[in-house]
Structure 1
Amino acid sequence: MALNVHQLHIFYTVAERGSFSSAAQNLHMTQPAVTMQVQALEERFGTKLLNRTTKKLELTEAGRRLLPQARKAVELMRETDEMMVRFAEDLKGRLQFAASLTIGEYVLPRLLGSFLRRFPDISVDMKVMNTTEIVDAVAHQGLDFGLIEAPSDVPGILAEPVMDDELVLVAPAAHPFASREEVTLEEMLAEPMVLREKGSGTRQIVEDELLRVGLTDAPESKMRIISEFGSNGAVKSAVEAGLGLSVLSVWTIKHEISLGLLKPVRVKDVDFKRQFYSVRLRSALLPIPAAALLGDLRELSHEK
């Protein structure tokens, strides 16, 4: 049978107060109920904890051994209660953060509704910026935390992986690539490209992977980049219109794929997989509502 912490609390109060009647008043219990709980504790340990005389109440040797442990248990319960009260208080107010475009426009809307239903006392203030701007805001402008699409090596910034993502080559429905599951890197480089702007996490992942597979010169010099846009929506519209191909997160094109407007195509021997990261100052604590939101993001990643 598990040790009853409530009984330890009663024993501790009796020992500290020096009488059953005083302990009963303090605990808002009847004296017989207090006596019964102490007796139950004695039966569990198979030894007397208190000697009851007509004049005073004395601890036995077993009682003296138990008292410090009972005190620790009572203090732990009190600390736990205070911690949970603070936790409940912290899960109120405004949660301010920034998210990169892919996360802010396509990932977070999938879970913010359920998150706010779970925590109705929280209001969310989310700014949508690119990865470079978010890291700068955390490092220099007092932003609590952000969600970005590429790792950061800025001094003083802690970047922690939150969820997985994959980028794919995207072609319009009428393009010859749309009927294929895979193309070569050389075929991709021969096509006109419409990309996100410099500084975006999506653009950085594309360039980093092209360097990894052997494009030793600047990757943008090897691609036929005809346009750059500051939003995923603008890039998708340009691809749909036949302006060129692009590389985008699978999160951003679910709707267009379902409508048959865009087709994802894999590039042979090229891996555009990445992780999304949370960023904050190494010297700062993550707000409790932020920790709860990041937990939901990790769960969503597992469901994807």
Structure 2
Amino acid sequence: MAINFHQLHIFYTVSEKGSFSHAAASLHMTQPAVTMQVQSLEDYLGVKLFHRSTKRIELSEAGRALLPYAKRSIELVRETEAAMSRFTTMVEGRLQLGASLTVGEYVLPRLLGPFNKEYPNISVSMKVMNTTQILEEILNHQLTFGLVEAAVHHPDVHVEPVLSDELKLIVPANHPLCALEKVTASEMIKYPFVLREKGSGTRRVMEEELSGCGIDTESMRIVMELGSTGAVKSAVENGLGISILSQSSVKHEVALGLVKVLDIEGVAFRRSFYSIYLNTTLLPISAVSFLTFLRERDLGQWL
């Protein structure tokens, strides 16, 4: 017998989760199977990796020494899969992911066609929700990974920027702000706003940037909070308020002359779209291939 990656992955997951039962749920294994694999690893190494009690488990001194090597082995496998995914288009499987609304409705539809041409044997299943909902489903093991519009801060979640985007001020085509040479933040907040709901990545990025520029977002006159970018756009088109949205989400409306995109002096809503998944998760090769595609292709030709 020799140390195998499967055992190291299980050991690392138990240490991260702090219990065999939680690790089993994360790995979609039974608790006895997880316990058996850890015991096999302990038998091979001739050491105890955990101190067990009725209430909790703790890493032993040997376990603490092994942990960074287990973590490095997981990282190396991820890097290996990403490197190898560049060399084959014959990958098969189902790509299942969650996407926040702007990503799922306006960005990914333009990229999935080119991706499908390169990987014709991968089918796609996508759930479109806001960032908070995607994080909850990943933590509850209902989703393997997601693409979201705002950085997520959670100790159990791996976060990596994979796409860039910029939010802009969106106003009706005949709005008074269109007549100004320069739109200032203080001038902008005089008007009623139609915004995405709290919990959305777009709303979070907007609030963080405005607060960083010294603008009290609580003083904004918000007349509507809507659960989709499409609903916000329709409200702006009909003169119900102005908004701040991803520039990529209003290309069609701008081309038709329904809305205008304006810059705000001294304010830039630049952001990244992030891939998120549990630290202990090893992504299926279909997901690895998709993330490699996003990182390494010139996406501007499609967006």
Into which bin does the TM-score normalised by the smaller protein fall? Answer: 0.5 to 0.7
Corresponding residue for 2:182? Answer: 182
Residue 141 of structure 1, CA deviation: 2.7
Is the contact made by 1:183 and 1:266 (CA closer than 8 Å) also made in structure 2? yes
**1:265 alignment partner, one of 262, 266, 288:** 262
Residue 249 of structure 1, CA deviation: 0.2
Is the contact made by 1:178 and 1:264 (CA closer than 8 Å) also made in structure 2? no
Corresponding residue for 1:31? Answer: none
Is the contact made by 2:90 and 2:119 (CA closer than 8 Å) also made in structure 1? no
One-letter code aligned to 1:131? T
The residue correspondences of 1:126-145 to structure 2 (distance < 5 A) are: 126-145=126-145
Residue 295 of structure 1, CA deviation: 3.0
**1:276 alignment partner, one of 248, 273, 278:** 273
2: CA distance, partners of 1:114 / 1:177:
38
1:232 equivalent to 2:229? Answer yes
1: CA distance, partners of 2:286 / 2:247:
27
Corresponding residue for 2:110? Answer: 110
Residue 229 of structure 1, CA deviation: 0.5
1:214-258, CA deviations, whole angstroms, 9 ceiling, x for partnerless residues? 13x5x2x21110001001110000000000000000110111111
**2:282 alignment partner, one of 280, 285, 294:** 285
TM-score for the superposition, normalised by structure 1? 0.67
Residue 91 of structure 1, CA deviation: 2.1
Is the contact made by 2:89 and 2:118 (CA closer than 8 Å) also made in structure 1? no
Residue 297 of structure 1, CA deviation: 2.7
Corresponding residue for 1:203? Answer: 203
In structure 2, the CA distance between the partners of 1:106 and 1:181, relative to structure 1 (3 Å rule), is farther
Percent identity at matched positions? 53
2: CA distance, partners of 1:260 / 1:169:
15
Is the contact made by 1:90 and 1:289 (CA closer than 8 Å) also made in structure 2? no
In structure 2, the CA distance between the partners of 1:259 and 1:179, relative to structure 1 (3 Å rule), is farther
1:52-104, CA deviations, whole angstroms, 9 ceiling, x for partnerless residues? xxxxxxxxxxxxxxxxxxxxxxxxxxxx9xx979x969821211100011111
Is the contact made by 2:89 and 2:120 (CA closer than 8 Å) also made in structure 1? no
Q: How many residue pairs align between the two structures?
A: 219
Corresponding residue for 1:150? Answer: 150
- Structure 1 residues 242-251 or 131-140, which shifts more? 131-140
Higher Cα Rg, which structure: 1
In structure 2, the CA distance between the partners of 1:206 and 1:295, relative to structure 1 (3 Å rule), is same
One-letter code aligned to 2:214? G
One-letter code aligned to 1:282? N
Corresponding residue for 2:42? Answer: none
One-letter code aligned to 2:251? K
Is the contact made by 1:193 and 1:244 (CA closer than 8 Å) also made in structure 2? yes
Residue 152 of structure 1, CA deviation: 0.5
1:160 equivalent to 2:160? Answer yes
One-letter code aligned to 1:135? L
1: CA distance, partners of 2:235 / 2:181:
22
Unmatched segments (≥5 aa) in structure 2 = 1-79
Is the contact made by 1:167 and 1:247 (CA closer than 8 Å) also made in structure 2? yes
TM-score for the superposition, normalised by structure 2? 0.68
Please provide the CA RMSD for this pair. Answer: 2.3
2: CA distance, partners of 1:252 / 1:292:
26
Is the contact made by 1:164 and 1:301 (CA closer than 8 Å) also made in structure 2? no
In structure 2, the CA distance between the partners of 1:84 and 1:174, relative to structure 1 (3 Å rule), is closer
Is the contact made by 2:138 and 2:278 (CA closer than 8 Å) also made in structure 1? yes
Is the contact made by 1:181 and 1:265 (CA closer than 8 Å) also made in structure 2? no
Residue 125 of structure 1, CA deviation: 0.4
Q: Which runs of 4+ in 1 moved over 4 A?
A: 87-90, 300-304
In structure 2, the CA distance between the partners of 1:283 and 1:181, relative to structure 1 (3 Å rule), is farther
2: CA distance, partners of 1:90 / 1:96:
18
The residue correspondences of 1:1-304 to structure 2 (distance < 5 A) are: 91-180=91-180, 182-215=182-215, 217=216, 219=217, 221-298=218-295, 299-303=297-301
One-letter code aligned to 1:152? V
